[in-house]
């Protein structure tokens, strides 16, 4: 096999105040593995030594964010580290990558891999696996599986979606791409209009919320042409956010329990009763199929208070940590 240029590794860095997990791809940038867990004060020296032995094309640094999309407390330390890294190794570009949920996913991977409790409590190993997860996500982006999320103001978000026909081309690949796009943005649900397609398709994976909401444990679904058969009169108000409205969080009342009929990606029909937070996710995502977004459910006063943020989203000036498509850009 011939290559037009030499290739180098991509290094992922999960930076913490005390220790830092480091992972690297092979030189073909196809396989990611954990490399080391290093005291944070020694990371730049470690990387300087590493690049003297191995070709490196890119540093990918985990971007620490909270669930509301705001920078976490660790952000100032990460930015200081990146500044030091760029000054010390100016020849290699540095990019950020949203690291929300990577620690949760790392613990899940360790559990599924059969690691004993003592090993799962090794914070250094968790950091190292988190760095590997960052690299895997970066690879999905390069493969084209990460689709742009259409932001508030895009006309497709205000259209009534059409039913998905059984002969819809490459449906399974679309479902896979939507899951990867959702994971990349650290979401728990994504509707087809949010990736620019006005069809009745939703993907959901609430497993990362399972510790707080047991009903979400293992709740991973692709819902094609979903239809609500029943909704409970009892409603619960909780704060919600949306990938199409980054930075906006408001309380929304939704039915505690729903009964929904849908088809999966294999065109098998299901009828299911969903409760609690899982029911909230289903209702939120299916709302996108009707041409509505969650901000429509709040009072006029609350919408007015969010007007500045909504205008920023429309103009494309809002800071967004995932691939997105705004009206103004």
CATH of the domain at 77: 3.30.420.140
Q: 203: buried, middle or exposed (CB in 10 Å: 19+, 13-18, 0-12)?
A: buried
Both 95 and 175 in one domain: the answer is no
Contacts of 179 (CB under 8 A, 6+ apart): 190, 203, 205, 222
Residue 3 lies in a domain: no
Residue 1 lies in a domain: no
Our CA angle for 225, 208, 321, nearest 5°, is 85
When pLDDT is cut at 50, 70 and 90, the band that residue 100 belongs to is low
pLDDT above 50 (res 2): no
Give whole-number Cα distances, 212 to 5, 240, 278, 314, in Å.
Answer: 49, 15, 11, 33
What distance in Å separates the CA atoms of residue 124 and residue 132, rounded to the nearest whole number? 13
Q: Which residues are catalytic?
A: 285
Let me know: does 164 contact 199? Beta carbons within 8 Å.
Answer: yes
pLDDT in tens, 263-313: 999 999 999 999 999 999 999 999 999 999 999 999 999 999 999 999 999
* Domains of the chain: total: 2
When pLDDT is cut at 50, 70 and 90, the band that residue 8 belongs to is confident
Residue 129 lies in a domain: yes
Both 107 and 169 in one domain: the answer is no
The residue segments making up the domain with residue 62 are 9-142
Q: How many residues does the chain have?
A: 329
pLDDT above 50 (res 4): no
Average pLDDT over residues 13-31: 82
When pLDDT is cut at 50, 70 and 90, the band that residue 6 belongs to is very low
Tell me the whole-structure pTM to 2 decimals: 0.65
Q: Write down the pLDDT at residue 114.
A: 62
Compare 132 and 119 and report the one with higher pLDDT. 132
The residue from 142, 171, 202 where one domain ends is 142
CATH number at residue 271: 3.90.45.10
The residue from 101, 118, 142 where one domain ends is 142
Let me know: does 31 contact 67? Beta carbons within 8 Å.
Answer: no
The residue from 100, 117, 142 where one domain ends is 142
Both 39 and 120 in one domain: the answer is yes
Both 153 and 135 in one domain: the answer is no
């Amino acid at each position: 096999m011939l290559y037009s240029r030499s290739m180098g590794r991509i290094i992922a860095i999960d930076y913490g105040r005390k220790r830092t997990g480091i992972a690297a791809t092979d030189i073909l940038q196809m396989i990611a593995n954990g490399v080391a867990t290093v005291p944070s004060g020694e990371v730049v020296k470690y990387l300087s030594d590493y690049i003297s032995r191995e070709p490196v094309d890119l540093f990918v640094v985990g971007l620490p964010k909270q669930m509301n999309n705001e920078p976490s407390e660790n952000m100032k330390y990460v930015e200081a580290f990146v500044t030091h890294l760029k000054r010390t190794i100016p020849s290699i570009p540095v990019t950020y990558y949203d690291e929300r949920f990577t620690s949760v996913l790392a613990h899940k991977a360790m559990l599924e891999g059969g690691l004993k409790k003592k090993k799962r409590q090794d914070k250094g190993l968790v950091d190292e696996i988190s760095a590997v997860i960052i690299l895997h996500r970066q690879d999905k982006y390069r493969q084209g599986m990460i689709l742009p999320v259409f932001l508030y103001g895009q006309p497709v978000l205000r259209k009534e979606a059409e039913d998905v026909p059984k002969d819809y081309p490459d449906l399974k690949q679309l479902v896979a791409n939507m899951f990867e796009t959702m994971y990349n943005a650290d979401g728990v649900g994504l509707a087809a209009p949010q990736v620019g397609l006005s069809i009745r398709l939703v993907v959901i994976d609430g497993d990362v919320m399972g510790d707080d909401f047991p009903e979400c444990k293992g709740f991973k679904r692709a819902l094609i042409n979903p239809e609500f058969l029943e909704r409970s009169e009892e409603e619960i108000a909780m704060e919600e956010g949306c990938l199409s409205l980054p930075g906006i969080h408001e309380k929304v009342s939704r039915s505690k329990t729903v009964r929904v009929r849908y088809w999966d990606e294999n065109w098998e029909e299901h009828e299911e009763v969903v409760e609690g937070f899982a029911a909230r996710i289903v209702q939120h995502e299916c709302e996108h199929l009707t041409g509505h977004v969650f901000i429509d459910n709040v009072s006029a006063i609350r919408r007015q208070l969010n007007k500045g943020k909504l205008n920023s989203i429309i103009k494309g000036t809002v800071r967004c940590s995932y691939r997105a498509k705004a009206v103004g850009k």
